[in-house]
Amino acid sequence: MSIKDNLNKIQSSIPEHVTLVAVSKTKPISDLMEAYDAGQRIFGENKIQEMAEKYQDMPKDIKWHMIGHVQRNKVKYMAEFVDLIHGVDGIKLLKEIDKHAKKYNRIINCLLQIKIAEEDSKFGMSANEASVLLQSDQFSELKHINVTGLMGMATFTDNMQQIKGEFNFLNSTFNRLKSYHSYNCNLETISMGMSGDYQLAINCGSTMVRVGSSIFGARNYAN
Ligand SMILES: *Cc1c(COP(=O)(O)O)cnc(C)c1O
């Protein structure tokens, strides 16, 4: 099936309140343009430099989401244009994003990444760390960021019961934290679910799914 067919099939299988992020990492511009021409406007990348290059070369009505781990020294390459940063895991990174957003007179939307998987390799904050952060004085001073939700990555496993448990945990964390409402914190988004588990994620409360290989085909990291 073509990229367009894949997109249409996925779009028609997800409810209207769920946002589809087309994860285009490692894929060439021609593939992204096929998705663009089929109506897709939100693209997710996990490397800042790759995203910045694609941003330069592509239509300017695209919303670019940074879904990967963010190194503080690279925030400057995306501060001008990034629409949403999914993987924010601490106050230091938030401060850095705030600093660069200010230079462009922007407010950058961020999701706090919560560690929901058992694997040590996955990044993210604990639910309690996120709770402390959102109530801290340091956080309340950041005028150029807006925390709009939470993001999580489930364990890489075929065990759907385990994945479901991790998604439910993120959903309950979201419900616990969303009472912290302030000028720079409005929790509305739960970013969870990828190609193999986005239906399950939606059943567990996801409002934003990040789907790559089911749209663009398998990635080839060898070239
Ligand atoms: C690559 C990636 C995805 C998409 O994975 P697929 O299995 O190809 O859909 C989603 N989220 C993150 C954070 C990723 O790095």
Q: pLDDT tens, 77-100? A: 999 999 999 999 999 999 999 999
Least trusted range by pLDDT, from 116-130, 165-179, 187-201, 206-220: 116-130
Contact 219, 11 (CB under 8 A): no
In a domain, 48, yes or no: no
In a domain, 13, yes or no: yes
Q: Is 90 exposed, middle or buried (0-12, 13-18, 19+ CB in 10 A)?
A: middle
- Which atom of ligand 1 is found nearest the CA of 198? 9
Q: Is 161 exposed, middle or buried (0-12, 13-18, 19+ CB in 10 A)?
A: exposed
In a domain, 47, yes or no: no
Q: Is the pLDDT of residue 121 over 60?
A: yes
In a domain, 38, yes or no: no
| Phi and psi, residue 47, nearest 5° | -125, 130
Question: What is the CATH number for 193?
Answer: 3.20.20.10
Q: What is the mean pLDDT of residues 116-138?
A: 91
In a domain, 32, yes or no: no
**For residue 119, what pLDDT is reported?**
77
Q: From CA 34, how far away is CA 36, in angstroms rounded? A: 5
Measured from CB, residues less than 6 Å from any atom of ligand 1 are 23, 25, 46, 67-68, 153, 194-196, 210-214
In a domain, 149, yes or no: yes
Distance 69 CA to ligand 1 centre (A): 12
**For residue 221, what pLDDT is reported?**
72
Query: Over pLDDT 90: what percentage of the chain?
Result: 95
**For residue 222, what pLDDT is reported?**
60
Tally DSSP H helices, then E strands, for the chain.
9, 8
**For residue 223, what pLDDT is reported?**
46
Q: Is the pLDDT of residue 76 over 60?
A: yes
**For residue 1, what pLDDT is reported?**
87
How do residues 15-54 score in pLDDT, each as one tens digit? 999 999 999 999 999 999 999 999 999 999 999 999 999 9
Domain carrying residue 180: 3-19+83-216
In a domain, 176, yes or no: yes
In a domain, 24, yes or no: no
How do residues 182-197 score in pLDDT, each as one tens digit? 999 999 999 999 999 9
CA gyration radius for the chain? 17
Q: From CA 153, how far away is CA 162, in angstroms rounded? A: 12
Q: Please state the domain count of the chain.
A: 1
Distance 210 CA to ligand 1 centre (A): 6
**For residue 158, what pLDDT is reported?**
93
